[in-house]
Amino acid sequence: MMSETAKQHTRELRALSRKLLVEGDVDVMIGYRDGIWEDTTRPHFATSPEATQQLVWNRHCANNLTVYLARPEIRQLGRPAVVVKGCDALTLDVLVREQQIARDDVVVVGVVCDGVVDSSHGSEGTRLLPKCDSCTVTTPPRVDHLVGDPGPARTPLPPDRSALERIEALTTEARWQYWQSELERCLKCYACRAVCPLCYCDRCFVEQSRPAWTSSSQTAKANFVFHLFRAFHLAGRCVSCGECARVCPVEIPLDVLNQKMAEEVADLFGFVAGEDPDAKAPLVTFTRDDPQEFIR
């Protein structure tokens, strides 16, 4: 059942998109449409005013659509507008900082969001995604158009650290065993990579052959190396949109790995990805007196 707010947001979104396309501000509107199954959505690329009528907004708009902005096949469609939730909007800052998109080349349409339903609990589920309970960006920042009324900010719960704490409490050997058994399930489907707006490399290290850092086969070693470097390459960049963990078919807690890295980056370098678009990324800068307690 679609709530009144969702219906209202859908109407506003369609009208705004139509206007943007008719007036020639943009060539393609990247938004959500109803999915194949009930209570799901899928990405929609509206290139004509008529196509905007299929756009929807509801509590199942999980995808982070900014993933499409840097893709060559989407760029071919012309100047894009993109629908973002607050969490998705943070990714834009990173993409701009890393020069994957120019902020002026994209029209950002933010929608005030009160949470996305966690569909892993079946279509009747009303539980929100884990990230939504601790959301601090219900109103997306730095957008060109805002759909919905910001209203009073909801009080976010503190981030859920239970999984992290459980793993941190283990001994080194037990942590090794834990991750070996988690990563053993990896199918190398690369859904985590495909869905991540910040995994935009033309050629991922997994597919590099000169030198071949790892193999693309589904073995304990190759799975370990893939997930080790997936997490490391996202460290200080990941804005914790949680898409990787949501799409993982074998439920590897990728979000916990990312959360760990985000906490370490905050601890070591005082940096939070997506917080300040003008702050320098932690691994492209340094201070002369960075601590070096680990160096002999």
Partner 1 sequence: MAELNPPPWEPRIVAFVCKWCTYAGADLAGTVRLRYPANVRIVKLPCSGRIDCFFIVKALEQGADAVLVSGCHPGDCHYSDGNYHARRRFRLFRRLLEFLGVDLRRVQFACVSAAEGMKWADLVSDLADEVRQLGPYREYHQMCAGDGTGDERDREATHA
Contact set with partner 1 (CB under 8 A):
167-168, 170, 172-180, 205, 213, 215, 217, 219-222, 224-225, 228-229, 231-232, 235-236, 257, 260-261, 264-265, 268-269, 282-284, 286-288, 290-292, 294-296
Structure token pair of residue 215:
């193999």
| 215-223 own/partner pairs: CB under 8 Å, 24+ apart | 216/188, 217/188, 218/186, 218/187, 218/188, 220/180, 220/183, 220/184, 222/188, 223/183, 223/184, 223/186, 223/188
Nearest Cα neighbor of 114 from 139, 143, 146 is 139
Residue whose CB is less far from partner 1, 22 or 170 = 170
* Residue 203 CB, nearest approach to partner 1 (Å): 14
Residue whose CB is less far from partner 1, 63 or 259 = 259
* Residue 185 CB, nearest approach to partner 1 (Å): 15
Residue whose CB is less far from partner 1, 167 or 272 = 167
* Residue 256 CB, nearest approach to partner 1 (Å): 9
Q: Are 57 and 147 in contact (CB under 8 A)?
A: yes
* Residue 93 CB, nearest approach to partner 1 (Å): 20
Distance of CA 239 to the CA centre of its chain: 7
Residue whose CB is less far from partner 1, 146 or 222 = 222
Residue whose CB is less far from partner 1, 121 or 221 = 221
* Residue 213 CB, nearest approach to partner 1 (Å): 5
CA 223, CA 212: separation in Å to the nearest integer?
A: 14
84 phi and psi angles, rounded to 5 deg: -130, 145
Residue whose CB is less far from partner 1, 108 or 256 = 256
Nearest Cα neighbor of 258 from 245, 248, 246, 275 is 245
Q: Is the dihedral of CA 293, 164, 244, 12 positive or negative?
A: negative
* Residue 24 CB, nearest approach to partner 1 (Å): 45
CA 244, CA 242: separation in Å to the nearest integer?
A: 6
Residue whose CB is less far from partner 1, 74 or 231 = 231
Dihedral of the CA atoms 217, 223, 229, 235 (nearest 10)? 140
Structure token pair of residue 46:
């509206």
Residue whose CB is less far from partner 1, 83 or 199 = 199
> For strand 80-84 and strand 41-46, is the pairing parallel, antiparallel, or unpaired?
unpaired
* Coil, helix or strand at residue 44: strand
* Residue 263 CB, nearest approach to partner 1 (Å): 9
* Residue 161 CB, nearest approach to partner 1 (Å): 13
